[in-house]
Amino acid sequence: MPIRQITIIGTGLIGGSLALALKKKRFAGRIVGCDRESVLDRARKRGAIDDGSSNPGDAVRGSQLVVLATPVLAIVDLIERVGPVLPANALLTDVGSTKAAVAERSVKVFGKKARQRFLAGHPMAGKELSGVDYADADLFQNAVWFLTPLPGQNLHEGLFAEFAGWIDQIGAHIAMLPPDEHDRLCAWISHLPQMISTALAAALVEEFGEDAPLLPTGGRALREMTRISASPYSMWRDVAISNKKNLEDALLKLEQRLAHIRENLGTRQLAQEFEQAHLLKKLPTKKN
């Protein structure tokens, strides 16, 4: 059955951007949002959704694809709530930043049918500003969209293939890996950078005060390093809780690296750290 209606539960930055991107690429069906009424009103004004409901059970009715676009712990809860009322032939997917807990809950809720009913995903796209007011139809251009299939899932037919086709149409590149590998990788390439930015910004405020004109005087490097420190705690709290072990490991290793640099500011080993860091830019890029 082709996708004629999509429900997006959570019409904030990512959910709203997905809706706008689908409309820009001429998705011919209806897009239904699910969120607080005030958020749905703004999503309608942005042209992101055609209809909306604050009740997930009502919002998913008649949809062939349901996207959970809330913080991770809410996604885990929503799988439990939405699973029993999901239309019989609908595909449930998500855009959460961690995947192991999400995949585990999907198996618990759908059992042996999980391979037919749920596909975990994570677009590597976002902004430091949240909410549908900042939604952008081009947010996913050239972004990686991770899919973490359950064992035995066939993504080359039916709703899986059609959904993957829409991911491609909105400009993202699909990459696939198991949930545990995804969480370890993202702890390093996404979650750790956020914590670095947060720690740097907090340390600067503590050192110089919240009224010091640091960003104008610090220049581009400081602005880039601290830009995502404005990201909402509500989202990153869930990431930290659901990926705690991987993030702790990454933070510990970075702390050790920083201590090594601090202890070798006047030695040749500092140059070696720069030389190793420069290798990152030389690593090959690969699109799956």
Residue range 34-86, pLDDT digits in tens: 999 999 999 999 999 999 999 999 999 999 999 999 999 999 999 999 999 99
Tokens of 156: 């080359």
Residue range 219-243, pLDDT digits in tens: 899 999 999 999 999 889 999 999 9
Q: Residue 190 falls within a domain, yes or no?
A: yes
For CA atoms 163, 168, 172, 178, the dihedral sign is positive
Q: 51 and 99: one domain?
A: yes
Q: Residue 288 falls within a domain, yes or no?
A: no
Average pLDDT over all residues of the chain: 94
Q: 48 and 154: one domain?
A: yes
* Amino acid present at 64: Q
Q: 170 and 196: one domain?
A: no
Q: 140 and 10: one domain?
A: yes
Q: Residue 201 falls within a domain, yes or no?
A: yes
Q: 166 and 187: one domain?
A: no
Q: Residue 276 falls within a domain, yes or no?
A: yes
Q: 100 and 192: one domain?
A: no
H-run or E-run covering 258: helix 244-263
CATH at 159: 3.40.50.720
Identify the band that residue 286 occupies on the pLDDT scale cut at 50, 70 and 90. Answer: low
Q: What is the domain range of residue 45?
A: 5-177
Q: Residue 115 falls within a domain, yes or no?
A: yes
Domain stop point among 123, 151, 177 = 177
Cβ atoms of residues 181 and 21 within 8 Å:
no
Give the whole-angstrom CA distance, residue 191 versus residue 237: 11
Bridge-partner residues for 179, per DSSP? Answer: none
Domain stop point among 148, 177, 206 = 177
Q: 91 and 142: one domain?
A: yes
Cβ atoms of residues 159 and 91 within 8 Å:
yes
Q: Residue 215: its pLDDT value, please?
A: 83
Q: Residue 209 falls within a domain, yes or no?
A: yes
How many domains in the chain?
A: 2
Residue 285 pLDDT > 70:
no
Q: 167 and 237: one domain?
A: no
Q: Residue 216 falls within a domain, yes or no?
A: yes
Residue 97 pLDDT > 60:
yes
DSSP 8-state secondary structure symbol assigned to residue 62: T
Q: 15 and 76: one domain?
A: yes
Residue range 200-215, pLDDT digits in tens: 999 999 999 988 888 8
Q: Residue 128: its pLDDT value, please?
A: 85
pLDDT > 90 in the chain, percent: 89
Residue range 241-283, pLDDT digits in tens: 999 999 999 999 999 999 999 999 999 999 999 999 999 988 7
Domain stop point among 126, 149, 177 = 177
Q: 186 and 266: one domain?
A: yes
Angle formed by the axes of helices 192-208 and 244-263, nearest 10°: 50
Q: 188 and 215: one domain?
A: yes
Q: Residue 287 falls within a domain, yes or no?
A: no
CATH at 205: 1.10.3660.10
Give the whole-angstrom CA distance, residue 229 versus residue 215: 13
Q: Residue 211: its pLDDT value, please?
A: 84
Q: Residue 127: its pLDDT value, please?
A: 84
Q: What share of the chain is helix, strand, coil (3-state, %, to 5)?
A: 55, 10, 30
Q: 204 and 165: one domain?
A: no
pTM for this model (two decimals):
0.91
Q: Residue 288: its pLDDT value, please?
A: 43
Q: What is the mean pLDDT of residues 1-26?
A: 95
Residue 287 pLDDT > 50:
no
